[in-house]
Amino acid sequence: MFNNKSAWFSTSVPQTCQDFWILQSGTIASWRTADYLFSADATCPDTLRIFESKDFLWNEVMVFHSLFLSICEKRQSVKSVCIGHYVLPPASCETILYIFCVNFTPFPLVTPGYVSMDSLQKYSRDLCDFHPVCFRCTSCKTCTYMQTCTEHVNQEQVTDES
């Protein structure tokens, strides 16, 4: 299942996950050379070192939750499991996601801190990329904060002079 693939395992990952990886022809490697990085706890010191590394900040590495391996073992398949669902974000991001979900999601009968996928509301508004230094002008909707809309600025100057 993991033939010709290497993985790094945090100390937070149960030994059974590592054993399964090896049993399925995977190899163990350092986090800088491994194909996959697995952790069960975003606050574990060895995982924190990765989150604080230049490689992580530059999107060179991604940490996955070790539950991915448990699901692969249950299904006896790696192709039927979407690894993207098992991305382990830094603890600070989990807090932000929790706050977002609490503010925008009704979650009846759910353990505090966790949101069931079934309770999420469909987001019906337009989606757009967020760039913190690039805001649309509220007057004309075409220029950005970093660019100057000459028509808009000229109108403001005329209004100020009057």
Instruction: Give the pLDDT of residue 56.
Output: 87
Written as one letter, the residue type at 103 is N
120 pLDDT higher than 80 = no
CATH number at residue 41: 3.40.50.10190
For residue 135, what are the domain limits?
Answer: 129-162
Quote the pTM value. 0.59
Query: Which range has the worst mean pLDDT, 29-38, 42-51, 57-66, 125-134?
Result: 125-134
Distance CA 63, CA 44 (A): 12
- 34 and 86 assigned to the same domain: yes
Q: Which H or E run includes 160?
A: helix 150-161
- 17 and 58 assigned to the same domain: yes
Instruction: Give the pLDDT of residue 98.
Output: 54
